[in-house]
Amino acid sequence: MKKKEKCAVCEDELDSDAEDEGEKNVGCDICPRWYHLSCTKLAGQTYVAVCDQEFICNFCGDREY
Ligand SMILES: [Zn+2]
Ligand SMILES: [Zn+2]
């Protein structure tokens, strides 16, 4: 059983079969959180382009390393 992931921003369920680019799921490269593409700073980019680069969410990106 695969549990439903929820977007860490809007807390709506993520649909892995979403056809709308903005509804597709992106996972942070650092933490286990998942987001709608449209709920991230990458909104407006295509899903393929997003998969091609690293995605660090706002929670992780706010940290200073
Ligand atoms: Zn969302
Ligand atoms: Zn993160």
Of the chain, the end-to-end C-alpha distance in Å amounts to 37
pLDDT band at 6 (very low <50, low <70, confident <90, very high): very high
Residue 61: pLDDT band by 50, 70, 90 thresholds? confident
Between the CA of 39 and the centroid of ligand 1 the distance, in Å, is 5
pLDDT at position 45 is: 95
Residue range 9-51, pLDDT digits in tens: 999 999 988 999 999 999 999 999 999 999 999 999 999 999 9
Number of domains in the chain: 1
Q: For 2-13, what is the HEC assignment? A: CCCCEECCCCCE
Residue in 25, 41, 21 with CA at minimum distance from that of residue 33: 25
pLDDT (0 to 100) of residue 63: 59
Ligand nearest to the CA of 33: 2
Q: What is the CATH number of the domain that holds 12?
A: 3.30.40.10
Half-sphere exposure in the Cβ direction for 37 (13 Å, CA): 19
User: What is the residue range of 12's domain?
Assistant: 1-65
Q: Tell me, what's the pLDDT at 16? A: 83
Ligand nearest to the CA of 36: 1
Contact 60, 11 (CB under 8 A): no
Q: Are 55 and 28 in contact (CB under 8 A)?
A: yes
